[in-house]
Structure 1
């Protein structure tokens, strides 16, 4: 253990040394060879992240004001600013990416930084029992790039039936055939073996690639899944069902966030695009008699500012912050606004619905292999130099937090068509033990007891292992978000009510059983794969491995993957549960849209980052068609 900690400290010192040397070197340095090398590996873009944000001018008018720089916000701001006659203000509450954001293996650490809003749920009775105070950690990005800058970079668009369902429910224009072109427009695919696929594009701004670093554990999982009857699939192609190595939003082994893909390449080329960081929007300015949005109020360096919008205000602040800003602006449920004494402008069910994908952090499987698990202490100085200076995309540092493969299953209890998966198995070549409790454990709010009893022994022994996270795609449990008071700097109150519907637990239980069947396959036996039998604290009273044990474990090791949706639900005005129409305009309001994953009406068969890019691309076309 001591040698492992010394190794980690040594690597940290080396990384700091490299950053200090590189960041301290002027980009005008006459050493052109070094600059050429840095350009080749992308380090100039990583280090030159000053952004040179504009200084806000109180009362300044823009054609469009985009609030929030996540996947949808960056996409819509970049597309609208393609018109040189339009001025666009992109406002972000957080700061700027750095080399840590761009290094995929560090994903677990980012949730403990200022790049995460740090939201937690209210204490849950039926889930998150392994978290401090039963509060589920709910990470959301607070940085240029939004959650795309702190997530695990999994690129999964969803199932065609998701989008056809949106259209059938009244959201005209959102069927699969109508949204697929926007997924393609955003994508720059580098997927070996899929070069001729009509489901992928190779000319968009967002890089999508297979993770080049790959362990024997991942190979064994994919092989065993095939032996268990799952086909190899492109889950962003014709059919989702099956197993695949993960497709990631990385470029040459580095995170490719919304900011890196859409804004950074054009920021210095478009004088009509103004970027504002550390600017906290507090409300939308609305002319109450006409219900017209005409600007925003925000705080910058603790001083209040106002921007005016000639054409539209576009909220892209995410599933928590967009509804918060709407309610602070008088747009939301009458009872909540009355309770916090915000004058009512438009009575809408903002925040009344909240869906999320909850998963079970496990099972954990130990193996007879050596040196395969992603322990951060195993990263060598040679790998660091190879990754940082030589641009090698196949080192352990390009592993997206250990995620290596995905499997999509339709379960026997399912009432859905066979080509519509119920659960996803996320194969991770590690666990909470991988960073010795210094990263993911803290970011996910796991109790010390959980780490100490289940994962610490793995870290101490450096025992090879992997984890299968089991995630349910179509939960029935519905949560809610509301405001405690009218203070714009206080968090919204978030109650996801995970597992309120007991059938959600049963789907995860079936998913666990399916994962255990994969463990019985020959490919798994060849690496000595076997279930870690350390009982989860609080579940010792149940026989290990019994259904009741797993039900207890599901409610204890509950874990969310940043997929909150529906707080500003899309649909026709005739649907009383909706907030925006199919053009993403807020019902009853003028010149105000919501463009982010909060508009997604039902939990999709997807990781929502890909859908957010699509929403931003589609929204840009709808906005342009109205104003040209």
Structure 2
């Protein structure tokens, strides 16, 4: 990996030229900085290693973790109260009974799937599968959102330095370049493109684009920059629907990407903005040049036609799907849970995962998911403390 000092000096110089401060991007959305990550001594920290493993030995009598199990249905009695969960394990069906309440954390796809199988969701959808509707909630499985990602390559004349100690330094001490993510994040308040959506009229509009920039090896030991341009708030939304009443059959996922023309317009403007970095002296001094994608040979590089081709062939989702059981007021026809994360129309049933987000964040969704878990924990304690 390219020396962290050299890599950051190059990027600092680039951002200085375009007038963007290189500091902590958590303090100002127009600031570029090193990507924040959950690591300890060079290793990835997860919710399991941070929340579960430290307390599990002393709470074995209260915390029971069952692996290789698939939840298949929330059990709800005649008065609309959730009282347990059915699940499958090793080909057998089991039932777990809740003394107080059921909390779903099955994720952006699993939670709406399980809710619909349990009779909670759009009645018109449930009727197609002869599922009795317990709570008619149009928002279950709707409002699916994700970040949309396109990567451009900027080549340089920099060659990979010889360093035979990187692996040893990491293995022995958890330190060195391998232990750190040399990725830089830059958020833009706007992409420079016009769009016809009300989101642009907000008093404090969301950034439309954010960028990841990191070192990449292109060919012949030559290094370059990967410029990952991310559409932060796509106007297009998708949905999740049932394919079967069999809980082992995955739901049908329709992401509906780029169905709103504004998404093309905004993303194209954002990619163009990120590729302008090649015009800085910092990159020119190291032979910086954009590498047109061979998929779109025949299109004029720099034209909207070229970038539309690039998006159609190379755009991918950001692994940040969310919002399919969103939080909202009872007057919102697409709200699924209330501010306490309780499911509308069913008692003693709560959701705590990315599906409750009303709209996607202008950042990765890992930290917001931790926050949702903390929020759910507080609400559960407040409910049963009374």
Per the alignment, residue 13 of structure 2 pairs with 223
Cα deviation, residue 545, structure 1: 2.5
Per the alignment, residue 105 of structure 2 pairs with 316
Q: Distance in 1 between matches of 2:206 and 2:3?
A: 29
Cα deviation, residue 399, structure 1: 4.3
- Is the contact made by 1:233 and 1:241 (CA closer than 8 Å) also made in structure 2? no
Per the alignment, residue 300 of structure 1 pairs with 89
1:362-415 CA-to-partner distances (Å, cap 9, x unmatched) read 21111111116xxxxx996x4334323x1232232x244xx5101111223363
Per the alignment, residue 288 of structure 2 pairs with 529
Tell me how large the CA RMSD over aligned residues is.
2.1
Q: Distance in 2 between matches of 1:391 and 1:279?
A: 38
Per the alignment, residue 383 of structure 1 pairs with 166
Q: Point out where structure 2 has 5 or more consecutive residues left out of the alignment.
A: 195-199
Q: Given the alignment of the two structures, is residue 358 of structure 1 paired with residue 148 of structure 2, yes or no?
A: yes
Determine which of 495, 500, 517 is the counterpart of 2:259. 500
Q: Given the alignment of the two structures, is residue 235 of structure 1 paired with residue 25 of structure 2, yes or no?
A: yes
- Is the contact made by 1:222 and 1:405 (CA closer than 8 Å) also made in structure 2? no
| Moved segments of 4+, more than 6 Å | none
- Is the contact made by 1:214 and 1:404 (CA closer than 8 Å) also made in structure 2? no
Correspondence 1:155-174 to 2 at 5 A = none
Distance 1:504 1:534, change over 3 A: closer
Q: Distance in 2 between matches of 1:213 and 1:278?
A: 43
Determine which of 250, 260, 264 is the counterpart of 2:39. 250
Q: Given the alignment of the two structures, is residue 484 of structure 1 paired with residue 243 of structure 2, yes or no?
A: yes
Deviates more, 1:416-425 or 1:487-496: 416-425
Determine which of 109, 114, 123 is the counterpart of 1:334. 123
Q: Point out where structure 1 has 5 or more consecutive residues left out of the alignment.
A: 1-104, 106-211, 373-377, 435-457
- Is the contact made by 1:296 and 1:308 (CA closer than 8 Å) also made in structure 2? yes
1:579-628 CA-to-partner distances (Å, cap 9, x unmatched) read 11111100011000111110111122121111000111011111101101
Per the alignment, residue 184 of structure 1 pairs with none
SS in 2 for 1:568: coil
Cα deviation, residue 356, structure 1: 1.2
Per the alignment, residue 177 of structure 2 pairs with 395
Cα deviation, residue 534, structure 1: 4.2
Correspondence 1:555-574 to 2 at 5 A = 555-574=312-331
Q: Distance in 2 between matches of 1:346 and 1:266?
A: 36
The structure carrying a bigger strand percent of its residues is 2
1:245-298 CA-to-partner distances (Å, cap 9, x unmatched) read 1111111211001111111111112121111111111111111x2111111111
Distance 1:228 1:282, change over 3 A: same
SS in 1 for 2:186: strand
Q: Distance in 2 between matches of 1:234 and 1:564?
A: 26
Q: Distance in 2 between matches of 1:218 and 1:561?
A: 24
Aligned residues: 376
Cα deviation, residue 218, structure 1: 4.2
Determine which of 186, 189, 201 is the counterpart of 1:410. 189
- Is the contact made by 2:73 and 2:117 (CA closer than 8 Å) also made in structure 1? yes
Distance 1:619 1:268, change over 3 A: same
Correspondence 1:51-70 to 2 at 5 A = none
Distance 1:323 1:513, change over 3 A: same
1:332-379 CA-to-partner distances (Å, cap 9, x unmatched) read 11122111222221111210221111121x21111111116xxxxx99
Q: Distance in 2 between matches of 1:276 and 1:391?
A: 34
SS in 2 for 1:604: coil
Determine which of 570, 579, 596 is the counterpart of 2:353. 596
Cα deviation, residue 233, structure 1: 3.8
Q: Distance in 2 between matches of 1:417 and 1:393?
A: 44
- Is the contact made by 1:331 and 1:348 (CA closer than 8 Å) also made in structure 2? yes
SS in 2 for 1:555: helix
SS in 1 for 2:283: helix
Q: Given the alignment of the two structures, is residue 277 of structure 1 paired with residue 67 of structure 2, yes or no?
A: yes
Determine which of 238, 254, 261 is the counterpart of 2:50. 261
Per the alignment, residue 130 of structure 1 pairs with none
Determine which of 414, 423, 428 is the counterpart of 2:214. 428
Determine which of 155, 159, 180 is the counterpart of 1:370. 159
Correspondence 1:576-615 to 2 at 5 A = 576-615=333-372
Q: Given the alignment of the two structures, is residue 623 of structure 1 paired with residue 380 of structure 2, yes or no?
A: yes
